[in-house]
Amino acid sequence: MNSSAYAAFCSLRDPVSAMQILYKDGYQYRSIVTTVTEQDRLAVKEKLPFTIHQSEVSKHTLYVLYKEGQHAGFLQARSEWAKWGLVEIAWGINLDRSLKGFYFQRCRSPECNDIVVASINKQLQNKSFNELKSLLSANGETLSEIGKKTFKKSPTLALLVLRSGLKTLAITDISWARDIKKIEGS
Amino acid sequence: MKKSYPTWTVFSTSCLLSLPLFVFTNMAEAAFLGENSRVSIDMSSRVSSNLDTQNHAFMHVLGIDIHKVFSSDTGDIGTLILQPYVVKLNNVNNPPFIFDDGNATKLTWRIANFNYTALNQGKFNIRLGHFEVPFGLEYQIDTNGTLRQLTAIERGIKADWGLSINGIMPRFEYEVALTQGSGAEINNNDDSHLFSGRIGTLSTKNIVTGLSWLSGDILAANGVIEQKKVALDLSYYYYQWRFMAESSVGKKAGNNVANGFAEVLWRTPKENLSIYTQLRYQRAEIDHNVSSESSSASHWVAGVEWVNDHGFDVSAQYKHKLKEMKNQSIEPILSVQLRYRM
């Protein structure tokens, strides 16, 4: 992303607030930094009618959550473009790779308030990749008929969040495949 | 006066010099730093022109930015950040006191610290090394290496060597530090020290506010200066706009001082272009031991920054006085900087 991809590393912050909101207390987190490649970007395009931005071909972090020594989920922060600028969304991911929920790390619209977040989160929680995909139109540019019924409140913001959630699930499975396999095997 | 080299020539030379450095850092990343590491090369050239005297001062910077997360099998242990930068000044009047003269070259550490994060889910961390003094707006906005600066110049210290506790709680974040008060100088022979801190609301929200304080003896050109300050800062984000303000009161070398700072910034939706303007105000007693007479100064700053998708960053800034203090002039300075990160 333009403004943040070349930011100095001292501005990198762990998504601690997101973990506290999405996973509550008693968790530890471990970072796994990997390089998202151009091949990964093309692989997302095979799963979805859209893909990540070219400037996202760089290093990214997946956080693995542990509770009492056992892995309990994942968290990844992603950036999306809105018409007013960059939106950073931290995604909680369940072990079965359904969505646990999201937290706005940065969204400069007053629409991104706690009530709207709770409303969108309620519809996305515990949905799998295919269930989420069914909420989008075939070209991925709008909500499907089911999606329109699901997100009566703030549909434009819900579309942005939904696309972000789908990209997050896709890129997690693609770019961290080897790491996740290792974690699941342990 | 030494010969001044055109900024573009020096920048091109830095680019060429950085190629072997880039190869080296990639090898270092793979061989020494291992997993969970990031390495970047950062270079910039800046010219600051005094429009009254037509003096042109140059600063050329080449550095490495290293970020490494250390982890155990089930959790992160801590994060190491190392940013050694070589800074070359050319024809600079009144250079920062850490430089021998206005044409000096010096190795500096922008940030160099280890933050131990394994204690309590990011709520209580311990940082050791060289880090930004937690005070005011500087705490949440990164201005290292940019023309745009906030309020650190008022205090004469931006980053310092020492220890801090820091963390993010569900409703607030904090950092409290005990540092040397010597800024970039790691050797502290002047009995300087600094106690500082900031407690604020979550920086992920669209309204952010914080309370800061500092107290200590800070190293300056002619020895140490005693400072005590408290400040309130406020940031408000609204779509592409950002409004920030900071107000502080305290004592500097025994004299009562008050500072005010306000900034408005606007960005394009793609965030590759930002425009900002700042207003700064300072009121200070002239000599507390003689009388309570005080004097005030103010100036405004306007700037623009353009960032492209490939790591180039071009920025320009102009500073102009509104009111000057007795015996302290504010020069009209136009600065232009070209920066590249790879």
Strand partners, B84: B109
Kindly list the residues from chain B whose CB atom is less than 8 angstroms away from the CB atom of residue A29: 75-76, 121-122
Please give the single-letter amino acid code of residue B170. P
Spatial neighbors of B49 by CB under 8 A, at least 6 apart, are: B55, B56, B57, B333, B334, B335
Rounded to whole angstroms, the Cα distance separating B36 from B213 reads: 35
* Domain membership flag for residue B14: yes
Structural domains of chain B, count: 1
CA distance B47 to chain A (A): 21
| Reported confidence tier of residue B1, pLDDT bands at 50, 70, 90 | very low
Q: In the A/B pair of chains, how many CB contacts fall below 8 A?
A: 132
Give the residues of chain A that fall short of pLDDT 50: 1-3
Rounded to whole angstroms, the Cα distance separating B267 from B306 reads: 10
* Domain membership flag for residue B148: yes
Domain that holds residue B158: 7-341
Rounded to whole angstroms, the Cα distance separating B251 from B95 reads: 25
| Reported confidence tier of residue B186, pLDDT bands at 50, 70, 90 | confident
**pLDDT for position A107:** 96
Higher pLDDT, B4 or B83: B83
**A69 with B74: Cβ contact below 8 A:** yes
Domain with residue B317: its CATH number is: 2.40.160.10
Give the side-chain half-sphere CA count within 13 A for A33.
Answer: 20
Are B306 and B272 a contacting pair, CB within 8 Å?
yes
Mutate: best of B124, B239, B243, B306, partner A, most A CBs <10 A: B239
**B83 with A8: Cβ contact below 8 A:** yes
Are B168 and B202 a contacting pair, CB within 8 Å?
yes
* Domain membership flag for residue B1: no
Are B290 and B308 a contacting pair, CB within 8 Å?
no
Interface of B with A in 19-58 (CB under 8 A): 35-38, 40, 42
Q: What is the pLDDT of residues B253-264, one digit of tens each?
A: 999 999 999 999
For the ranges B124-128, B183-187, B195-199, the lowest mean pLDDT is seen at: B183-187
* Domain membership flag for residue B157: yes
B110 interface with A at CB cutoff 8 Å: yes
Nearest-by-Cβ selection for A55 from B36, B269, B309: B309
Q: Which residue of B has its CA nearest to A72?
A: B74
Torsion of CA B104, B327, B152, B127, to 10 degrees: 70
**pLDDT for position B101:** 95
A35 interface with B at CB cutoff 8 Å: no
* Domain membership flag for residue B2: no
- The count of residues in chain A is 186
* Domain membership flag for residue B128: yes
Q: What is the pLDDT of residues B57-105, one digit of tens each?
A: 999 999 999 999 999 999 999 999 999 999 999 999 989 999 999 999 9
- Residue B323 confidence (pLDDT) above 60: yes
**A33 with B308: Cβ contact below 8 A:** no
Spatial neighbors of B133 by CB under 8 A, at least 6 apart, are: B152, B155, B157, B158, B159, B160, B177, B179, B194, B196, B214
